Each structure stands twice: as structure tokens, then as C-alpha cells.
Amino acid sequence: MFDFDQYLGFLAFLTILTIGFWLMIFLLTFVIPYWIGGAILEILKEKRDAKKAKRNQ
């Protein structure tokens, strides 16, 4: 059915596909929400500091 080099190519393809799948799951569930949450907190902190500086002037 498969030659040995075709078998190795198929295994390499499945390995790359699986790594890509789990990397995408990891990025979508942990990294991107952490990044967005940190950006929102940073924006809120800057607005709070600007409001505090304006009030102190």
C-alpha cells in the first residue's frame, strides 16, 4: 500500500498537523485572552492615572 518513504512523509504530515492543531487551541484559549485582558487593564489604568493627574492639577 505505502512505500516506506511515503509512510514517513505521511507520519510527518500527521505530526505537523497535530502540532498545529494543539498550538491553535492553546493560542485561542490562553494566549489571546490573556493578551486582550492585559491590554484592557492597561488602558483602564492609563485612563485612571490621567483622571487622577487632572484632578490633582
Tens-place pLDDT, residues 6-49: 999 999 999 999 999 999 999 999 999 999 999 999 999 999 99
User: Would 18 be classed as within a structural domain?
Assistant: yes
- Note down the domain range covering 20: 8-37
User: Would 45 be classed as within a structural domain?
Assistant: no
User: Would 55 be classed as within a structural domain?
Assistant: no
pLDDT at 57: 84
User: Would 42 be classed as within a structural domain?
Assistant: no
Predicted confidence band at 1 (pLDDT cuts at 50, 70, 90)? Answer: confident
User: Would 19 be classed as within a structural domain?
Assistant: yes
User: Would 28 be classed as within a structural domain?
Assistant: yes
pLDDT at 2: 75
- Total tally of structural domains belonging to the chain: 1
CA 30, 33, 36, 37 torsion: positive or negative?
negative
- Alpha-carbon distance 22 to 24, whole Å? 5
User: Would 25 be classed as within a structural domain?
Assistant: yes
pTM: 0.69
